Amino acid sequence: MKALVVVALAGLVAACSKTESSKIAVHVDHRIETLAALDLLARPLELDARGGMPLYKAELAKALEPFAKHRAVELTRELIAKGIAFEQPMELAIRLDDTLHLVDPQLPGDRWAMVDVPAYVEAVRAFAADAQLEAFFAAHQPYLARVEAAFRTSLAAHDPAPFFVKLFGPSPLSFTVVPALLQGPQSYGVHRGSATYELIGLGTLDRAGLPTEIDDALIAHEIAHSYVNPVVERHWAELSMAAATLHAQMAAMLAPQHYTTPMIMVDEAIVRAIATHYVRETHGETAAASAIRQEMRRGFVFDAALEAVIAQAGAHDMEAMMPALVAFFATLAKQPLLPVGFVGPINAIYAGPIAVVASPAMTDYAHSIDETLFHGKWPVLGAEGFVAQDLANASLVAYGTPTTNPLIAKTLARTGWKVASDGITLGDNHFTGEHLALIACTARDDDPNRGIVVYTGATEADLSEINALRAGTTDWVVGRRDSPDHWTIVAKGDF
């Protein structure tokens, strides 16, 4: 269920100056909410997992349970089976009026040609009436208003509009930011004519169900799609050959992200480079370096070079920038993409083959983790006598302390990380306290394309059930064990 936050970026209309800032309006759009509710019901696993859902989503799922076999739900399942999912149902939502009647039948993509769209819209309208969605929205209006206020505050502090005016000049586009109460963590950019919608997942929520942080760079990313996608489509004849070559090289990394065609790859590559440039311009060089690293993790290893092309183009419209972008992709496709080595995060260790290297006291625990998480698939080796060359094609997972696992001692010596009884030090970050543990990853010293993650602390008593310390999407996490099965995150981050 998505509370719709409308951000009318008036600074981007044709009559505005390049320094004029945006005016922001906020309201809820029930068209988006309704299509998202159908998607929730059409995916039974979502309902099975309701116990772990945010309160608003769980309450909606419970209210909708009597309608799980509604005609609109069955038709939504058929759409998903035909590949009409992710942002595509939202393309339909923005072509409905407030009473859920279709006002614009021009839906993008070939897959909609397989669908009786008017019949589906009629079923959607019946579902909204039968499930009394308007009454549900009204009952939850205080929560929706608080979500809106959170986005309004964030956008007032970090408004992407001036950046786009500076980069591309004035534009007739208007923008709608949609906090995705049900849809997250995915985010999408969809448009109808000059009206564009940026659907943004809420991310981590506090106890009140409000986002703890709203990513303005992600909003800039989705806004950029409205500039990039139509122009790429117009220039596809010039881009297609190079794009096909690049997509073939990147396919393994792109497929899990649902970037399944060369055109989607080009759209995403340019948009991500624009978002990196936004981060550099608004948050500085350190933040830009982190953004580039994140894009490298996603397979866009050329993000920094593409950002440089965009930055050098200066203030142009997107059409004026295309010759330089076409030339960039043509040159890039002429040679294989070079591997960039392991760049994290922790969960990237587990994307391929691994080997577990444990201290004597932690060997049984390592075996239990391997059995529980991986069905005993990976080897568990003792730290003593371990020979790295025997596992040249694997990333490594190391359990123990610097004194009980030589592989951990070697990794800490190389990286400069320090683990002591009174605290942990990572570069300029020092965390003081007893009973702290560290989970951190880096590249293997003998193979930069493979990683190693250490699960370590000053004593092995401090490492009991360390896998309960939540880690994965960052390079490191420092935690404190409060009880046998409970950990508190002290800090986490990227190198």
Q: What is the pLDDT of residues 197-245, one digit of tens each?
A: 898 888 878 888 898 888 999 999 999 998 999 999 999 999 999 999 9
Average per-residue pLDDT in the chain?
A: 87
Spatial distance between the Cα atoms of 259 and 250, rounded to a whole number of angstroms: 10
Residue 49 CA: distances (Å) to CA of 45, 54, 229:
6, 11, 35
Q: What is the pLDDT of residues 22-78, one digit of tens each?
A: 455 667 788 998 999 999 899 865 444 444 567 888 899 899 999 999 999 999 999
Q: How do 195-201 and 354-358 pair as beta strands?
A: unpaired
Residues 153-180: what's their mean pLDDT? Answer: 88
pLDDT higher than threshold 50 for residue 329: yes
- Secondary structure class of 37 (helix, strand, coil): helix
Angle, helix 71-81 to helix 30-42, in steps of 10 degrees:
80
Residue 475 CA: distances (Å) to CA of 83, 320, 326, 468, 491:
34, 39, 35, 17, 11
| Exposure b/e, 34-52, CB count within 10 A at least 16 = b | bbbbbbbbbeeeebeeeee
pLDDT higher than threshold 50 for residue 393: yes
SS3 helix, strand, coil % of the chain, rounded to 5?
50, 15, 35
The pLDDT value given to residue 418? 96
Strand order in the sheet with 354-358: 380-382, 354-358, 395-399, 447-457, 436-444, 476-483, 486-493
Residues near 264 by beta carbon (within 8 Å), at least 6 away in sequence: none
Question: Which sign does the torsion angle of CA 314, 316, 319, 323 carry?
Answer: negative
Residues near 252 by beta carbon (within 8 Å), at least 6 away in sequence: none
The pLDDT value given to residue 47? 46
The pLDDT value given to residue 25? 60
The pLDDT value given to residue 116? 96
Spatial distance between the Cα atoms of 336 and 292, rounded to a whole number of angstroms: 20
Q: What's the pTM value of the predicted model, to 2 decimals? A: 0.76
Spatial distance between the Cα atoms of 263 and 249, rounded to a whole number of angstroms: 14
Containing 130, the helix (H) or strand (E) segment is helix 117-130
Q: How do 195-201 and 174-180 pair as beta strands?
A: parallel
Q: What is the pLDDT of residues 478-488, one digit of tens each?
A: 999 887 778 89
Domains annotated for the chain, with CATH where assigned, are 5-220 (no CATH), 235-332 (no CATH), 346-493 (3.30.379)
Spatial distance between the Cα atoms of 162 and 220, rounded to a whole number of angstroms: 11
> Is the peptide bond preceding residue 339 cis, with omega within 30 degrees of 0?
no
The residue among 466, 461, 465, 403 whose CA lies nearest residue 440 is 466
pLDDT higher than threshold 70 for residue 344: yes
- Strand segments, DSSP code E, in 119-272 are 174-180, 188-192, 195-201
Rg of the chain over Cα atoms, rounded to whole angstroms, equals: 25
Q: What is the DSSP string of 241-307?
A: HHHHHHHHHHHHHHGGGT--SHHHHHHHHHHHHHHHHHHHHHH-HHHHHHHHHHHHHTT-TTHHHHH
Spatial distance between the Cα atoms of 6 and 87, rounded to a whole number of angstroms: 18
Residue the block writes with tokens 């990794």: 411
- Secondary structure class of 75 (helix, strand, coil): helix
Burial of residue 116 (CB within 10 Å: 0-12, 13-18, 19+) is exposed
Phi and psi torsions of 5, nearest 5°: -105, 110
The pLDDT value given to residue 362? 95
